[in-house]
Amino acid sequence: MTFEIVAHYKKLLLDSPELSMPVAAIESLVELIRHSKATTMSEFMLSIKDASQQLKSSVRNSISLSAGCDLFVRFVTRNSQDVADFETWKGTLISRGQRFVEKADACRYKIAELGLPFIKDGSVVLIHAHSRVVSLLLQRAAENHKRFKVFVTESSQTQGGIRSAKVLRAAGIPTTIILDAAVGYVIDKVDMVLVGAEGVVENGGLINQIGSYQMAIVAKAANKPFYAVAESYKFVRLFPLNQYDLPTYNADTLSFQELNIDYDSKSNDAALADSPTSLKKASSTASPSTATSQTALHMKTSEDQASQGSNPLVDYTPPNYITLLFTDLGVLTPSGVSDELIKLYL
Amino acid sequence: MSKGTNDLVDDLVAKLKRRQLVGSSTVAQATLKLLIVVISKNNWSKPNELLNLVKSVGQKLIEANPTELAVGNIVRRVLHVIREEYREAEAEKDANLNEFQPAPLTTSSSMYNLLGETGSASKDNVHYPSSLRSNIIQEIREIKDDLENIYDQIKNQASLHIHSNEIIMTIGRSKTVEEFLKMAASKRKFQVLVAESAPSYSGQEMALELSKAGIETTVIPDSAVFAVMSRVNKVILGTHAVLANGGLIAISGSHMMASAAKHHSIPVVVCTGLYKLSPLYPYDEDSFNVSMNPDSILGFEEGDLIEKVTVTNPYYDYVSPTLVDLFLTNQGGHPPSYLYRLIIENYDPNDQTFDLSTMAETLPKKQRA
Amino acid sequence: MDPKKKTVGFAPDNDASSDIPSPGSSNNSSAATSPVSAFSNTPDLDHNSNSNSRSVGSSSSSTAPKSIKSSGARSSYEPMKSSYEEQWGLADRVSQKAHKMASPREGGQFPKEGGKKEGKQGGKTSGLGIQASGSVTSGGSDGPHSAGPNSAGSQSGAAAAGQKGGAQKPPTAPSQKSMTKAERRELQEKQKAEKAARLASGLPASGKKAAQVLAQPNSGFSPNPSKSLATSFPGAEAEKAMAGGGESTNQTKRREKLTKEIGLFAHLDPPKFANTASAPKDLHPAVVNVGLQMAQFKICGANARCVATMSAFRKAIQDYQTPPNTTLSRHMQTYLNPHISYLVTCRPMAVSMGNAIRYLKYEIGKNLDLPDEDARALFLEKIDNFIRDRITMADQVITSLGLQKIQDGDVILTYARSSVVQGLLLAAHAKGIKFKVIVVDSRPRFEGKQLLRALATAGVPCTYVLLTAIGHVMREVNKVILGAHSLLSNGALYSRAGTAVVAMSAHERKIPVIVCCETYKFSDRVQLDSFVQNEIGNPDELVNDANNNFGHSSTRWQESVRGGLSSTTNGATGAAGVLSGWKESRDLKLLNLLYDLTPSEFVTVVITEVGLIPCTSVPVILREFLPMMQQ
């Protein structure tokens, strides 16, 4: 196969940052069909499944990506039964796929329309990190002359909060960035919590950027509504039991660091123990403070780097924490999501 | 629209506006009666014509009194029936033509539609069978029959939910709950505590009715709700409307009773006909509330005081779905999480928002005395 | 019917009065009978709370409401199922136990012994050594002190006290033989004096007969209501008590239905209807007056009732004349006891009153050897100090502490009316803090209107809502300030019915709940629900009629809501209240519960004169702080 699906996918995302992963995935798969030289049905199906597998394994956080892939594969298999002419069928698939990509954007607008009435005048909304559809919803609300304020968590891993704040402030919405750790502090001032989603799982639960789960717990404790906003192509056939049952979880995730890192820190300690002498030496020549801060900084970054790899990027929010989901299929309760998924895959 | 039906519409609109017609049941029946007349007396041939006709009448009625959600529910229900009939008629045609059509899942709001064929171009040119008109009217009459038998269907479940020697608490007066309890009383012996729901004190009437039926009934003031809750086995509430998320618009005091029940882990059962189920969401807890005359709280006797203070007298309470354990409808018992399904079955998603703007904007605000 | 049988129900403590009759002792508060009733009732309690009706002979099933009316006058206290003879004549276990309990009472009739014994027995049975577990009259007042204002408490409390007291001594009662000469002489003198008093009031000379006469519901000072009221609460009870045999279950069931008593609250005293006639003749008029005002809810609220009681006692002590052969301080307690039990017959005692009276008794018991005039001056001073330190000053401190918690822009919600809260809000307004108040109110007393009036007059922006709207208004609130009737040792807040709902709604929205409560209202009692101890108000207050609608005719409401059309469907509910015929209706009952219990989890902070404490620290204050205060 000459067509490099992963490369195409990455290029798509790079070209248009507004594109979401599942849409890009479907677009890539459509592209694959275009390039496909398969002559038999089974060969064709195999190549599609293979490609979606490639895509999934190509990124670290594959949840929303796999939602898109699965949806498309499901669609192809479902339609594969009554195929009269292979080539025309391929043609329909391509046109449908393209139509989907066109509609994907409309999805978000529909969600924004549905979610609009939930944003009350004078309310305070807490959002998490950056989500395109959440931003769009809030922008639409601002366009509709709703006056409200937004707290956004910084989301230190991706700095998504800063991105959100930029977008929202540009839309004229008063926005304050808060620390991820300050959710409990602000929750009493907040009227509703709004988060996006990487994926919405079988039971109506949510997979989203790390931190959503704790926000949901805090919201529940404070009796504040917790709304999730997700396009229906993010519904994914997963049923996680808990955080450690996600496909992104591996033995490495948050594992306790082993001895080699211990040695490192010891050597750092040794360096620290040495520092007074080195300080004395250095004090005469250079400013001592810079020297120490540099070592401290160095230590910090090295440790961060060591632990960074094992820190999870997403977490799972069980459905009982979610008040409602705004989707392009309508405003759903978590059990409504389950209903839709059952209908699609049964 | 013909002159005669127009007058009928205006008449009902006026009654709704003046609050001469209140109560979900009465309003629902009146609306349905009117719609039957409108559909049968007017000329229409194409689906959109009929839908627009019903929608325009519905819009008027809803605007007349936006807090009577049952009006909107009935209108949507009728619209849904009309759409279904057309869909059926079209499906028959399509089957005859034997077109290539992957027709797997028909629910219009499926994820599948994301990729599947959508929005079959409006088939204005299709000729519909003449039986369509009578079919539609027939279907609507069925809704009407349903509406009339709703109490029977609900109350017949009574003995499944009430055991002997139970202590049941309720608030205010609800015809549905009253029938339900009376039915249960014919089979079981139990006690009922009725909170008054000041300032309407409709709980007193309820208690009187129940005691006449031989049920041991105790009237309690609203203040005693929490105090006696710990000995109650079940809270049974009536409601004015059920919202799409399972929240209730019920008589004021329902919220405190439901939360007190929650605190004591006592199940809250809501008896309601499905016509009260609305596809709308509680965007704002006040959206569907009505502020009543403060006179019943602070009478004119207290003239000097009235000038100095604000009196708030909301007629309804919003009860969030987390406080409700079970809905008993004419279709059986459902948990709040299942309501979305009932909504999908009874209403078309295209109709859910046709009158949204008017619903949200015309909210009665607090009255100032 | 045997006249004795009649008396059993309503004036059951003629057991004691048969030996030593005195107006005070036959002052038939049902609380005084509690040890006996508690015991005779125990077996029944085992199977069913409603079984009391089963155990009594039943009337014919044809009993109509009319016959209740006629019999209602002879109301009885339900648990007293056995007759006088059964309890005292038969030597079965129950009656022996009853004797054991009765024994200290009889002893307690003697002023001297009372003084001494109380020191000994009371010291072991109750927290403060001065309590008379002895005399009948103090038996009545005893319960409320140790266990609160309700009969349930006094039943169990007094029963426990009686049992313990009895167990410490041989089971036989200390009869007159075992008394000292002085005691006997005193008793005789007392009897003579009382006889004279009875003759003067036109009662039979014999103590026993007098007791019986007094016990007749409509004669003397029974707490029984006048005939018109007889059907309301105790009426149906009386019917049961009267009925002889025929225990068929059918009939029992039928009678159960006729009971206007609410099964779950059967253990509580029925509402009381005191009148001037019910006051024993030798009570101080100031106390009688206070009692009546309390019975009519003209004096209402824990602080007001406590201050009124203490002031009345102050007057009584001022006017007190020491009888011959005793000293003021030794006789004072005996003198006060009938006053106290009279107050209990008017309305179950408030915790605040109980604590204040206990304090007074403690001071009296501590100063037995003072000369009369010194003692009088001391007691008067102690009363003044109590009111000043524990109430007036305490309120000032609470106000100043509370002011720190009220900021500009606050929306404060409060429920009903508490004098402390009112003081705090007015002080905050006077201080220039800009805040808004939402007064939540409820049936049947609408006490919040008084607060509303005070605040509105002072110019505080106010909103007035009824309790049903609590979910609606709570959204804009950022602080809830509540008053308290009492704070119990488990941290629960015992306050006006409805407080729990308010606190719960606030807790639901994480709005801080602030309770203002003086430490003298702290109680060593614990309670898990609002059932075990509570007070039942007059159920007729719940009827909306011309006399009782507080300006809220339900018909007016209906018209405004339903409009002309549908009012026809509801036309049956006429202009008079919907419930006006409730007494005739077999299955309709009204419950007018006066208090409820708010779990401690709903209360954020308690502001007391000793500072801001979590409400779970009540026992700490009781343990550490109060003994210091008493010195």
3-class state of residue C529 by DSSP: coil
| Chain A residues 214-243 with CB within 8 Å of chain B | 232-233, 235
Whether A124 contacts chain C with CB within 8 A: no
From A191, which residue of chain B is nearest by alpha-carbon distance? B284
- Yes or no, beta carbons of A188 and C508 under 8 Å apart: no
Over 90: is that where the pLDDT of A183 sits?
yes
Q: Token digits for C236?
A: 């149906």
Q: For residue B304, what pLDDT is reported?
A: 80
What is the least distance, in Å, from the CA of A333 to any CA of chain B? 7
List the domain boundaries for chain B: 3-149+351-367, 151-329
- Yes or no, beta carbons of B115 and A75 under 8 Å apart: yes
Q: For residue A342, what pLDDT is reported?
A: 85
Whether B264 contacts chain C with CB within 8 A: no
**Mean pLDDT in residue range A170-178:** 95
Over 90: is that where the pLDDT of A86 sits?
no
Q: For residue C129, what pLDDT is reported?
A: 34
Whether A117 contacts chain B with CB within 8 A: yes
Whether B250 contacts chain C with CB within 8 A: no
Least confident of A3-7, B81-85, B235-239, C221-225: C221-225
β-strand B241-242 against B332-334: which pairing, if any? unpaired
Over 60: is that where the pLDDT of C163 sits?
no
What is the least distance, in Å, from the CA of B76 to any CA of chain C? 26
Q: For residue C84, what pLDDT is reported?
A: 37
For A188-198, what is each residue's pLDDT tens digit?
A: 999 999 999 99
| Contact list, A107 vs chain B (CB under 8 Å) | 114
For C46-81, what is each residue's pLDDT tens digit?
A: 344 343 444 433 343 433 344 333 333 343 333 443
What is the least distance, in Å, from the CA of A118 to any CA of chain B? 5
- Identity of the residue in C462, C552, C589 whose CB atom sits nearest the CB atom of B310: C462
| Confidence band of B112 (pLDDT split at 50, 70, 90) | low
Residues 6+ away with beta carbon under 8 Å from B120: none
Q: For residue C59, what pLDDT is reported?
A: 40
Q: For residue C197, what pLDDT is reported?
A: 55
Cα separation, C23 vs C21, in Å, equals: 7
| Sign of CA pseudo-dihedral C498, C501, C504, C508 | negative
Fold of B151-329: Rossmann fold (3.40.50)
Over 80: is that where the pLDDT of C437 sits?
yes
What is the least distance, in Å, from the CA of C510 to any CA of chain A? 7
C619 by Cβ neighbours in 10 Å (0-12 / 13-18 / 19+) ranks as middle
For B47-88, what is each residue's pLDDT tens digit?
A: 778 888 888 888 888 888 888 889 989 999 998 888 888 888
Over 50: is that where the pLDDT of C596 sits?
yes
- Yes or no, beta carbons of A341 and B111 under 8 Å apart: yes
Per cent of chain B over pLDDT 90 is 37
Whether B190 contacts chain C with CB within 8 A: no
Highest mean pLDDT, choosing among A57-61, A212-216, A250-254: A212-216
| Contact list, A188 vs chain C (CB under 8 Å) | 510
Q: Tell me the ipTM for this assembly.
A: 0.87
Chains linked to A by 3 or more Cβ pairs within 8 Å = B, C
Q: For residue C252, what pLDDT is reported?
A: 45
- Identity of the residue in C557, C573, C591 whose CB atom sits nearest the CB atom of B218: C591
For C328-359, what is each residue's pLDDT tens digit?
A: 888 888 899 999 989 988 888 999 999 999 99
Cis peptide before C280, with omega less than 30 degrees from 0? no
Q: For residue A308, what pLDDT is reported?
A: 52
Least confident of A50-54, B101-105, C422-426: B101-105
| Contact list, A223 vs chain C (CB under 8 Å) | 508-510
From A98, which residue of chain B is nearest by alpha-carbon distance? B115
Sheet containing C611-613: order of strands: B309-311, C462-466, C435-441, C410-415, C479-482, C513-516, C605-608, C611-613
| Chain A residues 48-77 with CB within 8 Å of chain B | 71-72, 75
Highest mean pLDDT, choosing among A69-78, B25-34, C91-100, C149-158: B25-34
Greater confidence (C487 vs B361) lies with C487
| Contact list, C565 vs chain B (CB under 8 Å) | 15, 20-21
For A105-151, what is each residue's pLDDT tens digit?
A: 888 888 998 899 899 889 999 999 999 999 999 999 999 999 999 99
What is the least distance, in Å, from the CA of B5 to any CA of chain A? 34
Greater confidence (C418 vs C573) lies with C418
- Yes or no, beta carbons of C471 and B219 under 8 Å apart: no
Q: Mean pLDDT of all residues in chain C?
A: 67
What is the least distance, in Å, from the CA of B194 to any CA of chain C? 10
- Yes or no, beta carbons of B339 and A333 under 8 Å apart: yes
| Contact list, A78 vs chain B (CB under 8 Å) | 102, 104
| Contact list, A331 vs chain B (CB under 8 Å) | 244-245, 281
Least confident of A65-74, B71-80, B289-298, C93-102: C93-102
**Mean pLDDT in residue range C76-93:** 38
From A187, which residue of chain C is nearest by alpha-carbon distance? C510
For C186-224, what is each residue's pLDDT tens digit?
A: 666 666 665 555 555 544 444 444 444 444 444 333 343
- Yes or no, beta carbons of B110 and A71 under 8 Å apart: no
Per cent of chain C over pLDDT 90 is 31
Is residue B95 within a helix (H) or strand (E), and if so which, with residue range?
Answer: helix B69-97
Over 90: is that where the pLDDT of A216 sits?
yes
Q: Token digits for A27?
A: 């677009």
Nearest to C30 by CA among C248, C320, C344, C336: C344
Whether A106 contacts chain B with CB within 8 A: no
Q: What is the largest CA-CA distance in chain B?
A: 79
Whether the Cβ atoms of residue C203 and residue C127 lie closer than 8 Å to each other: no
- Yes or no, beta carbons of A343 and B105 under 8 Å apart: yes
3-class state of residue C613 by DSSP: strand
Q: For residue B300, what pLDDT is reported?
A: 72
- Yes or no, beta carbons of A233 and B244 under 8 Å apart: no
Whether C476 contacts chain A with CB within 8 A: no
**Mean pLDDT in residue range C402-407:** 94
| Chain C residues 465-484 with CB within 8 Å of chain B | 465-473, 475
pTM of the entire predicted model: 0.74
From C593, which residue of chain B is nearest by alpha-carbon distance? B224
Whether the Cβ atoms of residue A210 and residue A314 lie closer than 8 Å to each other: yes
Q: For residue C490, what pLDDT is reported?
A: 93
- Yes or no, beta carbons of B109 and A117 under 8 Å apart: no
Q: For residue C190, what pLDDT is reported?
A: 63
Cis peptide before C444, with omega less than 30 degrees from 0? yes
- Identity of the residue in B230, B255, B311 whose CB atom sits nearest the CB atom of C464: B311
Q: Mean pLDDT of all residues in chain A?
A: 82
Q: For residue B113, what pLDDT is reported?
A: 62
Is residue C628 within a helix (H) or strand (E), and if so which, with residue range?
Answer: helix C626-630
For C127-148, what is each residue's pLDDT tens digit?
A: 333 333 333 333 333 333 433 3
Q: For residue A227, what pLDDT is reported?
A: 95
| Contact list, A330 vs chain B (CB under 8 Å) | 109, 349, 352
Cα separation, A332 vs B271, in Å, equals: 23
Whether C510 contacts chain A with CB within 8 A: yes
- Yes or no, beta carbons of A103 and B244 under 8 Å apart: no
| Chain B residues 55-114 with CB within 8 Å of chain C | none
Q: For residue C604, what pLDDT is reported?
A: 94
Q: For residue C312, what pLDDT is reported?
A: 94
For B117-165, what is each residue's pLDDT tens digit?
A: 544 444 445 566 777 888 888 888 998 998 888 888 898 899 899 999 9
Q: For residue C1, what pLDDT is reported?
A: 42
Whether C281 contacts chain B with CB within 8 A: no
| Contact list, A100 vs chain B (CB under 8 Å) | 114-115
Whether C597 contacts chain B with CB within 8 A: yes
From A223, which residue of chain C is nearest by alpha-carbon distance? C509
From C505, which residue of chain A is nearest by alpha-carbon distance? A223
Q: For residue C196, what pLDDT is reported?
A: 55
- Please tell me the CATH code under which domain B3-149+351-367 is placed: 1.20.120.420
Least confident of B179-183, C260-264, C465-469: C260-264
Q: Mean pLDDT of all residues in chain B?
A: 82
**Mean pLDDT in residue range B236-261:** 93
DSSP B238: -
Helix A334-345 to helix B339-346 angle (10° resolution) is 60
| Contact list, C510 vs chain A (CB under 8 Å) | 188, 222-223
Cβ atoms within 10 A of the Cβ of C192, count?
A: 10
What is the least distance, in Å, from the CA of C509 to any CA of chain A? 7
- H helices of C201-301, where? 207-215, 227-230, 234-242, 249-258, 285-295
- Yes or no, beta carbons of B109 and A120 under 8 Å apart: no
For C364-385, what is each residue's pLDDT tens digit?
A: 888 888 888 899 999 999 999 9
What is the least distance, in Å, from the CA of A326 to any CA of chain C? 24
Q: For residue A75, what pLDDT is reported?
A: 81
| Contact list, C587 vs chain B (CB under 8 Å) | 210-212, 214-217
